[in-house]
Amino acid sequence: MNSAVTTPRGTGTRNTRILGVLTIILMVLLTFCGLIFSGEDINQGSTVRIMYVHVPSIWVAYLAFGMTALCSAIYLSGRNRSLIWDRFSGAAGEIGVLFVAVSLVTGSLWGRLTWGTYWVWDARLTSTAFLFITYIGYLAVRRLGGTHRQRARRSAVLALIAILEIPLVHFSVNVWRTLHQKASVADPNAKVALDGLMLFSLFLGLIAFTMLFAWLVIHRQRSLALEDAVADRGLDAAIEARREEATN
Amino acid sequence: MDHASFIIGSWVLTFASVIGYAVYVIRRGRELSKNATSEEMPWT
């Protein structure tokens, strides 16, 4: 039946391999810059080194959830109802959940050193935890039964609602009094003087993690496409079996 | 380096999570592509 069955090739291509190698190089460079070459902070000492993985992690989470919403909006807009948008949305959502979890744990470790506690129910931490739970729910909704198009429609609606939490999380430090510090590098009015190598390490982290996100989302989107294809094949086989039953 | 266990722990946890997920994604893709047709893998 399936004459065109191919040898295992996976989800990689020459371009993803190049992207992967570049990402690894930047990650190694980030490790050296973040852990060895960059200096200590005047106030926080060497604990500032957690920043080089904590900030890029939450950046990737924002980026991933933004992409989830954007791809969902494109899917729902009706201009292009291709399921590829749904798969990109699902892949980005999954990666976003991973990076929010990483951000929460690294933030908790950093908090233990700077605030003396792993967790406080302040606005930034609580809203981030709520964001994490919301997108766990988004992934759960994607796994409900139904056709691919039903999955795409209901998860796209949820993604467009869930994205409204991002401004809440990001601006929570300005709206409420929190233990978590306000935006510093991203705020042009903030009088924060970061050492050149510290700033370089931070931006290197943002670039490396963004490239990592791109690599992960491409691969995950392709494996989701294959999962859909497997499900379709199973459905086709079941329909064929029922037809044979009916004719015999 | 002060608080090395917390700092190194944060980095190790980050990289371990990412590498673990990347390995899962690659393995899943390879496993599914074993029975896939060329039409189902337009990127090849």
Block means of pLDDT (10 residues each) for chain A, 248 residues, are 54 94 97 90 86 96 97 87 92 97 95 91 92 96 91 95 92 79 66 79 96 97 93 77 78
Length of chain A in terms of residues written: 248
d(C-alpha A151, C-alpha A217), whole Å: 19
Answer yes or no: is A146 within a domain. yes
- Looking at chain A from residue 218 to 237, which residues have their Cβ under 8 Å from any Cβ of chain B? 219-220, 222-223, 225-227, 229-230
Q: Averaged over B11-38, what is the pLDDT? A: 93
Residue in A112, A212, A219 closest to B29 by CB: A219
Q: What is the pLDDT of residue A240?
A: 76
Answer yes or no: is A104 within a domain. yes
Answer yes or no: is A188 within a domain. no
**How close does chain B come to A182, measured CA to CA in Å?**
21
Residue in A27, A105, A219 closest to B26 by CB: A219
Q: What is the pLDDT of residue A36?
A: 92
Q: What is the pLDDT of residue A56?
A: 97
Which secondary structure element, helix H or strand E, spans residue B42, and what is its range?
Answer: none
- Separation of first and last alpha carbons in chain A: 21
**Which sign, positive or negative, has the C-alpha torsion A11, A15, A19, A22?**
positive
Q: What is the pLDDT of residue A45?
A: 83
d(C-alpha A11, C-alpha A140), whole Å: 24
Answer yes or no: is A27 within a domain. no
The domain in which residue A70 lies consists of 64-182
Residue in B6, B15, B36 closest to A226 by CB: B36
CA closest to A95 among chain B residues: B21
User: What region does A195 belong to: left with phi over 0, alpha with psi -120 to 50, or beta?
Assistant: beta
Residue pair A100/A131 in contact by the 8 Å Cβ criterion: yes
Residues in A touching B40 (Cβ below 8 Å): 225-226, 229
Contact check, Cβ <8 Å, B41/A226: yes
Pick A189 or B14 by higher pLDDT: B14
Write out pLDDT tens, residues A13-42. Answer: 999 999 999 999 999 999 999 999 988 888
Contact check, Cβ <8 Å, A12/B29: yes
Answer yes or no: is A205 within a domain. no
Question: What's the number of domains chain A is made of?
Answer: 1
The answer to whether A87 contacts chain B (CB < 8 Å) is no
Q: Which residues pair with A97 in a beta bridge?
A: none
Residue in A13, A102, A109 closest to B9 by CB: A109
Answer yes or no: is A120 within a domain. yes
d(C-alpha A38, C-alpha A46), whole Å: 9
Among candidate residues A87, A94, A86, the one with its CA nearest the CA of residue A65: A94
Answer yes or no: is A229 within a domain. no
Among candidate residues B8, B26, B4, B5, the one with its CA nearest the CA of residue A17: B26
- Dump the DSSP string for B4-33: HHHHHHHHHHHHHHHHHHHHHHHHHHHHHH
Instruction: Give the mutation candidate from A222, A224, A227, A233 for the B interface (greatest B CB count, under 10 A).
Output: A222
Q: What is the pLDDT of residue A189?
A: 67
The interface predicted TM-score (ipTM) is 0.94
Length of chain B in terms of residues written: 44
Answer yes or no: is A199 within a domain. no
